A and B are shown apart, each in its own frame.
Chain A
Amino acid sequence: MTSVTNSFSAVRITGTGCLCAAGANVPEIMSNIYSNIRAPVISERVRADHPELYPMFELPASAMPGDYYKEQEAKRCGLLAIAAATEALDNAGLDMDNLRKYRVGVCIGTTVGNAMNNESFYSDFLLDRFPDMHPIKTYLQANPADMVARHFNLKSLRQCIANACASGTVAIGQAAEWIKNGICDIAIAGGTDILCRVIYNGFISLKITDSQPCRPFDKNRQGLNLGEGAGIIILESDQVARQRDAQVNAILCGYGNCSDAYHISAPKRDGFGLEMAINMALGQAGINYDDIAFINAHGTATPENDSVEGILFSRLFSHTPFNSTKGYTGHTLGAAGAIEAIITIEELKRQKIAASIGFQVSDPEFDVDPVTENTPIHGRYALSDSVAFGGNNAVLVFQQGPQE
């Protein structure tokens, strides 16, 4: 791979916004995960006809945007992204007037948010009941990147990234590349996804869901629990951040994205693509494995995914503390990478990582365990990785922002 050094040194993170099962905003989420609180539920809203019921991580009522369940399902991803973006922009000290002065790009990762998967419409269509076109019109208006851009009256470049469960990570990385190359001054980037029957049935069909609360990296892990939410980060060029005298939560200093080229739904056992992505991100940051203070792992709690990360971490990061926060949020698919990036940034700021809830028994297949208690860390850099369907591996490296 062609070497790239310090490519991202100028990309500042000036705002974060998030909502998921762990809370309605970033402070609440951090408070809950440091308190080791989690609340998976048997959903009343997303039900299917399976012999077993699988817990999910639903948004608490306090986190739901107004009229969330009155809107058609197709628009809910966009609504979550707007809610997270509102918090992130507020955190960054940006309002609509400020935004108008800059070229603002929008880059949103999702898996459900750009899929035409309206079951009721398709059922009517399939059974020759000739459905009304309203669901299609809604779908055409529901692209999450478009919805965010419309809401904040933004005219610049926008895109929805569909890199499966690495979408949120990749969206942040691509947006950083736009900033670095002057395509936009500010980027609203992250991920969003919702719980729905299609996803629920799909993951059950793959036999990778746990009927108990998930247990990332535990020897007895049985699979993931689905979750929903959105995470949005505000990225700015160094110049714009300085001009605005913006706070800097962290610096995005490395982004790697590499393919396993192996299987449509299973990761490559030796972690080849993930290792390449890690090396690419560290190369951009100009740092080594030892410089990483902690890792927020993908840690879905599926047997295969956690093995890949566990084996690779044993080899590359044998002394680096790591956690999986999916025990608090569930697997939020296209939003996961963005939500975890935000948790990583907050943990880096606070120099403390949350206990990896759900873990009890070491897996003999690898030599490392996630932290089981909230753990102080010492260092300026943290890494968050995503290991997704189709061999999509993506990694972000964050540097602690300037101390106040």
Chain B
Amino acid sequence: MTCRMAIRGIGLVGGFGCGTEAALNALRNGGRPDDFLMLKVPAGTVKYPVYLANPDPLKKFLSPSKLRRVNKYSQLAALAACMAIQDAGQAVYQHSDTGVIVASGYGASTTTFAFLEDVILEGDNFASPTLFSNSVHSSAASHVTILLQIKGPCLTVIQFEMSMIAALLNAQVWLKDKKVDTVLLGGIDEINQVLLYCYYNFYGKDIPQEMTPLNYELQTAIPGEGAAFMVLTRDEGQVPPYGYIDMVSWETSSEHTIPEDILIISGSDGHRTCGLQYRKLLHRIDHNNIKTFSQIYGSMPCGQMFDLALASVAARYGLIPNSYCSIKLDAKGNLGVIHHS
């Protein structure tokens, strides 16, 4: 299937800050984690570097009263969605002809844990209906439709690292079939204490202080959170500011050949297990032709959406060529491939 998608607007919030300017600064100056969270471990407490995202700027777009019962996960999604729409301009975006697709690796896990906390500490009778409603993984997409009054189709995909590629394939189908004229598509993930606990236990006690994702043999992943949204349309009308998504495909890494004549945006994000697979997959590619952005936003399952958004911003402002190929591997050898021009 082919349906070239035009990128009309981008909204980003992550550890690097909020908006295109913050993203450009990070692209120009490199990124590193600016925040720490404390994690209790058997030996005491450890300080864990993280890329934290701040949803507060959402108050510039929506009144605080509307956000009263909206959790951080959904606020991050709404903020990135608002920025993407603002960036695209209202002319592109019409509520009735817009669909929403949200992809996430772990969904609204933080709220699920908050719901469990009430039950565990207070008892079954104290389960919170608000937390329960917001722990449903579709809550971010639903809040986006409610807060932005989007009444078209809505979809949430939860497929770990492959969430983004699946979401993009769905977007392509909707646009090709003319089910909608615009897709507001985003990736979102959130840090919580359980995630840090997993990092600590799975990846050792030697906590990395910075990410070096092209150093494939080292475990340097640092948890990231945030949301990246795009306004996508068919390839019609004006030339889009952020170029085109020419091709999206779900591949098996052992059967796929990476092109050698184009810039590769590698989804490697400091995890050694995947890193070794990236090394194998990219062994023919000139090192100067491979870039990563995960050191800007951190490690998260929906990272490919950040790769796509950051690369498209970088291309618009001349930091990288317009043509690139974004790849994302999961631990099972699945490969998401996106060609952009």
Residues A176-202 near B (CB distance < 8 A) = 177-178, 180-183, 197-198, 201-202
Residues from chain B with a CB closer than 8 A to the CB of A115 are 107, 109, 112, 135, 137
Contact with A along B200-225 (1 / 0, CB 8 A): 01100000000000000000000000
Assuming the contacts A259-B153, A391-B142, A391-B145, asked whether A162 and B132 have C-beta atoms less than 8 A apart, the reply is no
Residues from chain B with a CB closer than 8 A to the CB of A203 are 132
Residues B95-148 near A (CB distance < 8 A) = 96-97, 100, 106-107, 109, 112-113, 115-117, 119-121, 123-125, 127-129, 132-139, 141-143, 145-146, 148
Residues from chain B with a CB closer than 8 A to the CB of A389 are 133, 136, 138, 142
Which one of A128-136, A228-236, A287-295 is at the B interface?
A128-136
In the bound complex, CA of A197 to CA of B123 (Å): 12
Query: In the complex the two chains form, is B202's CB within 8 Å of A133's CB?
Result: yes
Residues A247-283 near B (CB distance < 8 A) = 256-265, 272-273, 276, 280
In the bound complex, CA of A205 to CA of B252 (Å): 44
Interface size class of A (residues with CB under 8 A): 35 or more
Residues from chain B with a CB closer than 8 A to the CB of A207 are 129
CB < 8 Å: which of B143, B151, B155 contacts A163?
B155
Query: In the complex the two chains form, is B100's CB within 8 Å of A259's CB?
Result: yes
In the bound complex, CA of A266 to CA of B148 (Å): 17
Query: In the complex the two chains form, is B142's CB within 8 Å of A390's CB?
Result: yes
Residues A118-158 near B (CB distance < 8 A) = 119, 122-123, 125-128, 130, 133, 136, 140, 143, 145-146, 155-158
CB < 8 Å: which of A156, A161, A181, A263 contacts B156?
A161
Which one of B19-27, B158-166, B238-246, B281-289 is at the A interface?
B158-166
Residues from chain B with a CB closer than 8 A to the CB of A114 are 107, 137, 158
Residues from chain B with a CB closer than 8 A to the CB of A202 are 115, 127, 129, 132, 135
CB < 8 Å: which of B137, B153, B163, B194 contacts A258?
B153
Query: In the complex the two chains form, is A261's CB within 8 Å of B120's CB?
Result: no
Residues from chain A with a CB closer than 8 A to the CB of B115 are 198, 202
Assuming the contacts A158-B159, A160-B159, A392-B138, asked whether A146 and B332 have C-beta atoms less than 8 A apart, the reply is yes
Residues from chain B with a CB closer than 8 A to the CB of A258 are 151-154
Which of A264, A265, A272 gathers most chain B CB within 10 Å? A264
Does A159 count as interface, using CB distance less than 8 angstroms? yes
Residues from chain A with a CB closer than 8 A to the CB of B156 are 161-163
| Number of residues of chain B lying within 8 A (CB) of chain A | 74
B277–chain A nearest beta-carbon distance, Å: 15
Does B179 count as interface, using CB distance less than 8 angstroms? yes
Assuming the contacts A116-B112, A205-B127, A257-B154, asked whether A177 and B139 have C-beta atoms less than 8 A apart, the reply is no
In the complex, 22 of the A-B residue pairs with CB atoms within 8 angstroms, ordered by the A residue number, are A2-B97, A49-B124, A114-B107, A115-B135, A116-B109, A119-B120, A125-B194, A126-B120, A159-B163, A161-B155, A164-B142, A181-B176, A182-B1, A198-B116, A205-B129, A206-B133, A259-B145, A264-B146, A388-B138, A390-B141, A392-B138, A392-B154
Question: What 10 A-B pairs have minimum CB-CB distances, sorted nearest first?
Answer: A390-B142, A162-B137, A202-B132, A159-B166, A205-B127, A257-B153, A48-B124, A259-B145, A201-B127, A157-B250
